[in-house]
Amino acid sequence: MKICLISFDNWGYDEKIANELIKMGHETSHIKLLDFKYKYNNLGERILNFFNKTLLKKNIKKIKTEEYILATLKNKGTQDKIIVINPERISNDCHLEIKKFSASYIAFLYDSLDRYNNKALINNNIFNKTFTFDKKDAQNHNLLFLSNYIHLEKSLLKKNIKYKVLSISSIDERYPVINSIVDYLDERKIKHKTIFLGKRKPKKLRKSVEFTKTKMTQSEIQKKIEHSEIILDILRENQTGLSFRIFDALALDKKIITTNESIKEYDFYNPNNILVIEPDNISIPDSFLNSAYEIVPEEIYQKYTLNNWINILLKDD
């Protein structure tokens, strides 16, 4: 099939979708909007854009980005399917123009709808199919549920373990919870690697915690995971969908400590491998810390691979 993928791809996950589509034999193009750089002609245009955004809610950079999408599609021609990842940053009018290039326009959301300003985008039948990684959103908004996927190659070799617990997180509403967990681990002398990413170093940063302004690459994150036994995954507010960190742990045979209660609904859930904790009452038993990882059955593992994820996404009714 002739397939076009449209996404910003801030973290590099979507490029792997495009590569897997090509590997599966599809004629694939990826309109990667992170690579589109609009340059202001002069300082006056930059100032004008500031006032347009503030007063008129018009953004020159967004307009030019959408013009780039449509020009690229016009050049590539009609597609059998068009897939857009996290479509909120594209206007409704632009989505309607995109839809003219394919009889099958598919959206996938790996953000909770509570983080969307434009919920009407999902409810006005622009897309032929809308998938979400969040079971609660699927139920409440009549969407199709599809979890995130395993994008890493399955690990066959055990790396040199350096840390018991690993946490890599942006500085957001999860910061206080992670700090409490850090205190818990430090008090019990449990070796951990905790990294916060952000623009500004937060106040009251624990001495055992690292802070960086530099965005980590997928390969850098993978190396940290490989050298750890347990991955810490703290839920965002109003979200039930499983983060990519859960699927990284599956690929690399790592245990998980999470605040996401909904993980118990998945067929790979095993209390030996996955510990669900309460943010206000942190307890990590020694039995969990010290028991060996139990391998996920292959038939269950394969359900969450990127290849199977794509097959579900592309399947015709």
56: domain CATH number is 3.40.50
pLDDT at 203: 80
Give the pair of three-digit tokens for residue 4: 């076009």
CB 243 within 8 A of CB 262: no
pLDDT at 255: 98
> Does 151 map to a domain?
no
238 and 297 housed in the same domain: yes
Average pLDDT by stretches of 10, the chain with 317 residues:
95 94 98 80 58 59 92 98 94 95 96 78 86 94 96 79 95 89 96 93 87 91 94 90 96 96 98 96 96 96 98 90
User: Which domain range does residue 14 map to?
Assistant: 2-146
Query: Distance from CA of residue 185 to its chain's centroid?
Result: 27
Domain end (from 146, 175, 202) = 146
What is the DSSP code (8-state) at residue 256?
Answer: E
> Does 309 map to a domain?
no
102 and 203 housed in the same domain: no
108 and 207 housed in the same domain: no
> Does 118 map to a domain?
yes
> Does 272 map to a domain?
yes
122 and 187 housed in the same domain: no
186 and 141 housed in the same domain: no
139 and 8 housed in the same domain: yes
pLDDT at 60: 80
142 and 209 housed in the same domain: no
pLDDT at 175: 87
> Does 311 map to a domain?
no
Measured CA to CA, the distance from residue 177 to residue 91 in angstroms comes to: 35
Give the pair of three-digit tokens for residue 157: 């070799």
72 and 16 housed in the same domain: yes
For 285-290, the CB contacts below 8 A with 24+ separation are: 288/255, 289/164, 289/190, 289/230
> Does 317 map to a domain?
no
Nearest to 293 by CA among 251, 234, 245: 251
Domain end (from 146, 178, 201) = 146
232 and 266 housed in the same domain: yes
Q: How many structural domains comprise the chain?
A: 2
> Does 14 map to a domain?
yes
pLDDT at 47: 58
116 and 204 housed in the same domain: no
> Does 313 map to a domain?
no
pLDDT at 130: 95
pTM confidence score: 0.90
